[in-house]
Amino acid sequence: MEKQNNLETAAKSTKSSAFFTRGWLMIMVVFITAICTQGFGLYSFSMIRVPMTEMLGADPTAVALGFSIYALVAGITSLIVGDVIEKLGLRVSMILSAVFFSGGFFILGFMNALWMVYAAYVSMGIGTALGGMVVVSGIPSNWFAKRRGIAIGVTWCATLPGSFITTFLVSAAAASGHWQNAPITLGIIAFVVLFASSFVLKWRPQEVGLFPDGMTAAEAAEVAERAGAAKLVGLNRKQALKTLPFWMIFLAFALIGIGEQGPFQNFPTYMVAHDYDLAAAGTFMTFLAFAGCCGKLSAGIIVDKLGPRWAYSIINYLAAIGLIAIMLGGDKLVVLYIAGFFFGAALSSSAVCFSNATAKFLGPKYFGQLYGIVFLGKPLMDSIGVPLITNISNGPLGWTAAYIVAAVFVIASATCMLFARKSKQLIAMEEEAARELKEAAAEG
């Protein structure tokens, strides 16, 4: 008996060690991937927009439409990412991402007409979807259960180095009078990273004989939720669409699009309008990325302790206060940075919280397909939010009205998230999975 226990302990230790090595390798590679698809994707537009508008002599709102197209295409394409991964494999999805995402940057590098801006962001939107939101959130969601929050939080901190690289390259290229060198460089980096990562990443630990968190079947059977993660139970599309939790998550994710990306993509324009130069705007955007990194890690810790509902609501109520503070005194640099920290801390906390909410409240089995639908609402509202905030800021009430509108949407989003709960159908599935694992352990 003692020999059998020793063998079980050794097997458990070996599996945990194998998971630790492989699981955190996945997180490291996803982090590097996210530097490109999320960091380059989000931070390049706000910086490139200023010299691009000047070069084309175009209406600022018409140029802002480029980001709307990018967000819409990314959202719509995300609907099929889960199916692409399940039917063709993650490697195919990542290689296609490398081609489309880098291709968009190359188009910007040689762009000389407004239609080419739109074409570039169509290509980048497809690439971002195939190797971005679903993949960056899905791999840590699949590989981790107990530590899912912090794992996702770590991957989404990639926007910080992404912002450093992007703002430095665009600022330096613009200062030299050749700003189009920046997107070409970003495109080359993105292609190499995404193509190489396609040969390393695995969608689920079960593909290499492991369970989430390095659990054994016996450990998973002790808690119904972990058993559900180990056995990959969850609601399918048809089942999820009939539940209130799904629609609360969807609505909350959609509303944050206007409240988050609307002001975010307009901050450089706001600062230039208040007599700051583009370099100062770039520094502030990088500061927002730093604040966002703090927020994502905090969100991950709170998610693992209190769950995604409270993590998201707390962080975003503070973000709304930050927007109101910017509205009242954002022309003062100290106020802008202090209030900006609270807003920045909420940036992409939605990625941490909503991916957790999807896996926790709807189950991990069909995560890719469900998260593609859940995510769709955000880019739809992103596409509305950026030109909407731009137009409001150019109206009679200016930036005051723009920030009030953004704050209202942030508050509404945080409130909707409070109503999200685990579906009763999923609870029953998890309990059944736990029973099956216990019976299998007893028979073994």
Question: What are the Cα distances from residue 90, in Å, to 136, 138, 158, 296?
Answer: 12, 11, 20, 25
* DSSP H helix total and E strand total for the chain: 21, 0
CA–CA distances in Å: residue 127 to residues 73, 149, 191, 371: 9, 25, 10, 17
Element (DSSP H or E) covering residue 320 = helix 308-329
User: Tokens at residue 17, please?
Assistant: 């060690």
Domain boundaries defined on the chain: 2-207+244-422
Q: Provide the pLDDT for residue 321.
A: 92
Q: One-letter amino acid identity for 5?
A: N
| 403 Cβ contact list (under 8 Å, min separation 6) | 263, 323, 324, 326, 327, 330
> Which residue has tokens 């004989």?
209
pLDDT of residue 230: 64
Neighbours of 337 (CB within 10 A): 16
Tokens coding 232? 């990959």
Nearest Cα neighbor of 386 from 59, 14, 68 is 68
Q: Which of 74, 61, 68, 194 is nearest to 129 (CA)?
A: 74
Please give the full DSSP string across 396-419, using - where no structure is assigned: TTHHHHHHHHHHHHHHHHHHHHTT
Domain 2-207+244-422 has CATH 1.20.1250.20: yes
Question: CA-to-CA distance for 39 and 191, rounded, in angstroms?
Answer: 14
Tell which residue, 214, 231, 200, has the closest CA to residue 363.
Answer: 231
Question: If we measure between CA atoms, which residue out of 388, 418, 384 comes closest to residue 402?
Answer: 388
**Res 7: pLDDT:** 36
Output the pLDDT for position 214.
72
pLDDT on residue 10: 42
Q: pLDDT truncated to tens, each residue of the chain (444 aa)?
A: 444 444 344 444 445 555 566 778 888 999 999 988 888 877 777 777 778 777 777 777 788 778 778 878 888 888 888 888 888 998 999 999 999 999 998 998 888 888 888 999 899 899 998 988 888 888 888 888 777 888 888 888 887 788 778 878 877 777 777 777 888 888 999 999 999 999 988 888 888 777 777 776 666 666 666 666 666 778 888 898 899 989 999 999 889 888 887 888 788 778 888 777 777 877 887 788 788 878 888 888 888 888 888 989 999 999 999 999 988 887 788 888 998 899 988 876 777 888 888 888 888 878 878 887 887 788 778 778 777 888 888 888 888 888 888 899 999 999 999 988 888 888 888 888 778 777 776 665
- Cα–Cα distances in angstroms (integers) from residue 54 to residues 60, 181, 262, in the given order: 9, 16, 21
Query: From the CB of residue 153, how many other CB atoms can be counted at a distance below 10 Å?
Result: 29
Cβ proximity of 437 and 220 under 8 Å: yes
CB 129 within 8 A of CB 81: yes
What pLDDT is stored for residue 421 in this prediction? 86
Token pair 């009205």 in the structure block, residue: 401
What does 44-65 look like in DSSP terms, one character per residue?
HHHHHHHHHHHHHT--HHHHHH
- Does the pTM of the predicted model rise above 0.95? no
Q: Which token pair is 83?
A: 């199916």
